[in-house]
Amino acid sequence: MADSATFLRACGLSELEEDTPKRVELDGTPVSVVQTEGEVFAIHDICSHANVSLSEGEVEDCQIECWLHGSAFDLRTGKPSGLPATRPVPVYPVKIEGDDVLVSLSQES
């Protein structure tokens, strides 16, 4: 299915700073793009526990932390690693073409 997915340009690879989330909006969907540990990830930018932007949080050990209540979400799976969040957030496929970071809104998980 990923082959037929539509990828949209989220940002330039050169715009990303290591472990610093960048909030973008793709077709009205808020997405946090993160470069960490040599990879680029795209995760839904709204915490599943509270209506808070995850891109305002810290990134560590391939997780993004919600600054409000401290729940952290795995950038690979979207699964929370601790309370108060209990529901995962969507993660999205990423492709790099030249300096373009491309994200598909079809969910990986």
The rounded distance, in Å, linking the Cα atoms of 98 and 91 is: 22
Candidates 80, 53, 78, 81; CA nearest to 68 is: 53
Strand intervals (E) in 1-109: 7-12, 22-26, 29-36, 39-44, 59-60, 63-65, 72-74, 91-92, 94-97, 100-104
CATH number, domain 7-104, options 3.10.150.10, 3.40.50.410, 1.20.1050.10, 2.102.10.10: 2.102.10.10
pLDDT band at 74 (very low <50, low <70, confident <90, very high): very high
pLDDT score of 109 more than 60 = no
pTM above 0.85, yes or no: yes
Q: What is the pLDDT of residues 5-31, one digit of tens each?
A: 899 999 999 999 999 999 999 999 999
- The distance from CA 9 to its chain's CA centroid, rounded to whole angstroms, is 14
The rounded distance, in Å, linking the Cα atoms of 78 and 34 is: 13
Q: What is the pLDDT of residues 35-55, one digit of tens each?
A: 999 999 999 999 999 999 999
DSSP 18: B
pLDDT score of 59 more than 90 = yes
